[in-house]
Amino acid sequence: MPRVIEFLYHTDTPILRHVLGGRAGLPLSEYLADWRARLPALFLGLAAVTAFLLLLTHGGVRSLIDRALGPPPAPGAMAPRAGMTCPRWLVVNATIAAMLGAQLLEVFVPGDRWPFSPYAMYASEHGPSFSWRGVYGVSDGREFRLRDPRAIAPIDPIRLSYAFADRHRREWTVVPPQDSMLRAVASLYERTRLNGDHAGLPLGAIRLYENTWLLRRDLANVEAPARHVLLHEVRLDE
């Protein structure tokens, strides 16, 4: 499979690229790593299905299930196509196949096909330190993190952080420079401020930082990260 991925990565057939989900915007190593990460689940899934089918070949197992669920319908008791018309039967089965197929595709094939997106529910491994992109405003020489959702509505601070952190991952749009992204955030802030949605002062500058924290349960360093690296700044008062 890695060879297939490599071949597809380098191939230039438009249809194939479309099937693959767009331009190969990431290095090949990322696609291979993603495949390796999904391999255990694929193996586990196939092994579980095979084991289940093998178990079912044993009549005793089937009897056990019958005892738990009640006897299965007799062959003659099942109406052909469950009593539905042929077109309706096709629609119903196509719906079931499409929904389940899309959900299973999400498990085994990289991508995020909303509304079938895989939701990992905090599966990522978190260590005692982490880095996070944060947007800061500067008013009267005082710097503050934009954490109030009302100040940058409809964007929220989490979405904002992802928007900056994942810029290089965007495969389907021309990614605007950080400068114009920060200006856009500043204009959101100014609009909500003028609307009276928050009591913030006008911004003199807006900054993007890469923060690294060492986690503390007393939260004493929330506003004082161990590393606070300025990535970009836009002066608004010039």
Partner 1 sequence: MSEPRGVTAWLGARVHEAWFAPGDARDLGVVRALLAGMLLILSFWYQRSFELWGTLQPWVWDPVWLYRATPPGAPGAPILLAVLWTWRVALLLLAVGLWTRASAIVAALTGLLVLGLPQNLGKVNHDYGLVMVCLMVLAVSQAGDAWSLDRLRHIVRDAEGPFRREEARRGPEYRWPLVLMQLMGTLVLFTAGLAKLQSPGAMAWVMSDNLQNTFVRHFYTHDPPLRIGLWLASVPVLSRALAGGALLLELGAPLLLLLRGRLRAVVTTMVMLMLIAFGLVLGVLFLHFVLALGILFLPWRLLGARLAAQLPVRSFTLIYDGSCRLCRKTVGVIAAMDLMERVEVRDALRDWPGLSGRFPSLTQAQCLESMHVVRSDGRTYAGFAAYRALAWAIPGWWPLLPVLYLPGVPQVGQMVYERIAARRLEQGCPVPVSAGTEMTGRETRS
Binding window for partner 1 (CB under 8 A); candidates: 7-15, 124-132, 136-144, 198-206: 124-132
The residue range among 23-31, 174-182, 202-210, 226-234 that interacts with partner 1, by the rule CB under 8 A, is 174-182
Q: For partner 1, which stretch binds (CB under 8 A), given 8-16, 24-32, 88-96, 228-236?
A: 88-96
Nearest CB to partner 1, comparing residues 24 and 155? 155
CA–CA separation, 198 and 149 (whole Å): 10
If one counts every other C-beta atom within 10 angstroms of the C-beta of residue 26, the result is 15
Figure out which of the listed residues 141, 173, 194, 237 binds partner 1, where binding follows CB under 8 A.
173
Q: Is 199 in the site for partner 1 (CB under 8 A)?
A: no
Q: Interacting stretch for partner 1, rule CB under 8 A, among 6-14, 92-100, 200-208, 227-235?
A: 92-100
Asked if residue 202 binds partner 1 (CB under 8 A), the reply is no
Out of 115, 142, 168, 224, which residue is the one contacting partner 1 (CB under 8 A)? Answer: 115
Let me know if 182 is exposed, middle or buried by CB neighbors in 10 A (0-12, 13-18, 19+). Answer: buried
- Nearest 5°: the CA angle 118, 122, 126 is 135
Q: Is 159 in the site for partner 1 (CB under 8 A)?
A: yes
Residue 177 CA to residue 229 CA, distance in Å, equals: 18
Residue 121, sorted as left (phi over 0), alpha (psi -120 to 50) or beta, turns out to be left
Q: Residue 232: beta bridge partners?
A: 208
Q: Is 44 in the site for partner 1 (CB under 8 A)?
A: yes
Gap between the Cα atoms of 27 and 173, Å rounded: 17
Q: Does residue 63 bind partner 1 (CB under 8 A)?
A: yes
We find the least distance from the C-beta atom of residue 107 to partner 1, in angstroms, to be 5
In this chain, which of 19, 46, 49, 215 binds partner 1, going by CB under 8 A?
Answer: 215
- The interface mask with partner 1, positions 4-23, x = CB under 8 A, is -----------------xx-
Closest CA to 210 of 195, 194, 231, 179: 231
Closest to partner 1 by CB, 4 or 121? 121
Helix (H) or strand (E) holding 205: strand 205-214
Residue with tokens 């952080």: 161
Distance CA 155, CA 76 (A): 58
Binding residue for partner 1, selected from 78, 201, 226, 230, defined by CB under 8 A: 78
Closer Cβ to partner 1, 27 or 45, answer by number? 45
